[in-house]
Amino acid sequence: MAVGISKIVSALEPSATLAMAAKARELKAAGKTVYDFSVGEPDFTTPAHICEAAQKAMAAGHTHYTASGGIQELRVAIAKQYQATHGLEYSPQQVVVSNGAKHSLHNAFTVLCDPGDEVIIPAPYWVSYAELVKLTGAKPVIVPTEEKNDFKLTPAQLRAAITPKTKILLLCSPSNPTGSMYSPDDLGALADVVLEKNLVVMSDEIYERLIYGDNKFASFAAVRPGLAERTITINGVSKAYAMTGWRIGWTLAPLNVSKAMDSLQSQETSNPCSVSQYAALAALEGPQQCVSDMLAQFAKRREYVRERIAALPDVTCPNMGGAFYAFFNIQKHLGRKYGGVQVDNSAQWCLELLAQQGVATVMGSAFGAEGYARLSFATDMKTLEKGFAGIEAFLKS
Ligand code: PMP
Ligand code: GLU
């Protein structure tokens, strides 16, 4: 007898980024050389002072359940940081710490969405958004954006997508998968529509500290008065502090939303990992040089990636203002054979690139944008050099 899986989970797509990373790992385990640009996680190890804080926390006996929404010191530190960097006033109770920003997003959608509600998600989008929305019975409304506009949602596109059922607008800036960034003015123009149409905004700001050149980051809740009452901000330590494995993310939200998430989490996971919370506290309160040092490395890689992509024939790529992804257009390279294999879409292109050259990227279709591929440059220069040689050889084949 096959055990039945619920309808809602049967309809779920597994994470394509994690699936490509698993494929790359499998090939490596089988002895193949693989240049892995699939998953977006810093290749750096977590800074030593953060690991030491975790060891101290264990030695001090912080190995028990904590308050479900996180230890008070960490909630205070997060609220303080938002005050200092964005002038936003949150009480510690408005901060809920979870097991990674992905979990924060899941909590937020779960407490806000009823079946039938609509959530506007600009495409290209990070793979998990639409699936997390579907888990609640709500409907993701995917709104395609244009490469010529750096994949940014325009106020007109937002207006056109709003229906009486629209509840939430999801924004991610800097963006995964495109690296594109909304300027403070871009966000202000969207905020005017949000306020007029009475929407809630989920603002995923996990790449806030990874910004290049003169680009200016603004936290969505801070761009107009009255937005903090309708914004759920998502952030965490995974990307800025190379702490993906520690699983700490958080939300800042109106008090009733935070209380609902806290109560949901108290039934779901009790609390985020105690030791990781102390590590995250050390990340926020300790020296920040580690963030600038990693950013300097990412900036060098970004320059290199931009040059190498610009040199690829018939490939375009919008400017990466932040994060560590390049999202490049491969439309002119589809509809032909590579090493005797017909390749018609981005999934086939990425799978053949992996099979023939050992280069792992993620297909644009997983991000709601067919005809593109995503490359994570959170990896060392040597791997980038070899990977681009593989991409060039593949395009010529
Ligand atoms: N949001 C975006 C845009 C991301 O790229 C990621 C990375 N997986 C997350 C959220 C989740 O991060 P975390 O590791 O904290 O769950
Ligand atoms: N955010 C990363 C990515 O997009 C991590 C993998 C995931 O959580 O999907 O590759």
Q: Which residues of 10-19 are buried (b: 16+ CB within 10 A; e: fewer)?
A: eeeeebbbeb
Architecture in CATH of 7-45+290-396:
Alpha-Beta Complex (3.90)
Map out the domains of the chain as residue ranges: 7-45+290-396, 49-285
Using CA atoms, how far apart are residues 162 and 141, in angstroms rounded to an integer?
9
Ligand (nearest to CA of 208): 1
Classified as helix, coil or strand, 375 is strand
Query: Taking the alpha carbons of 207, 208, 211, 217 in that order, is the dihedral positive or negative?
Result: positive
Ligand 1, from 18, 78, 206, 235: best to mutate by most atoms within 8 Å of Cβ? 206
| 311-352 pLDDT per residue, tens | 999 999 999 999 999 999 999 999 999 999 999 999 999 999
Asked if pLDDT for residue 13 goes beyond 90, the answer is: no
| 56-104 pLDDT per residue, tens | 999 999 999 999 999 999 999 999 999 999 999 999 999 999 999 999 9
CATH for 49-285 is 3.40.640.10
Ligand (nearest to CA of 204): 1
> Could you tell me if the CB of 176 is within 6 A of ligand 2?
yes
Q: Which helix (H) or strand (E) holds 96?
A: strand 95-98
pLDDT band at 212 (very low <50, low <70, confident <90, very high): very high
For residue 197, how many other CB atoms are within 10 A of its CB? 12
Using CA atoms, how far apart are residues 271 and 60, in angstroms rounded to an integer?
19
Ligand 2, from 127, 362, 379: best to mutate by most atoms within 8 Å of Cβ? 127
Lowest mean pLDDT among 8-17, 291-300, 313-322: 8-17
15 CA → ligand 2 middle, Å: 8
> Could you tell me if the CB of 40 is within 6 A of ligand 2?
yes
243 CA → ligand 1 middle, Å: 11
pLDDT recorded at residue 16: 86
Ligand (nearest to CA of 22): 2
> Could you tell me if the CB of 39 is within 6 A of ligand 2?
yes
Using CA atoms, how far apart are residues 4 and 10, in angstroms rounded to an integer?
9
Contact 294, 42 (CB under 8 A): yes
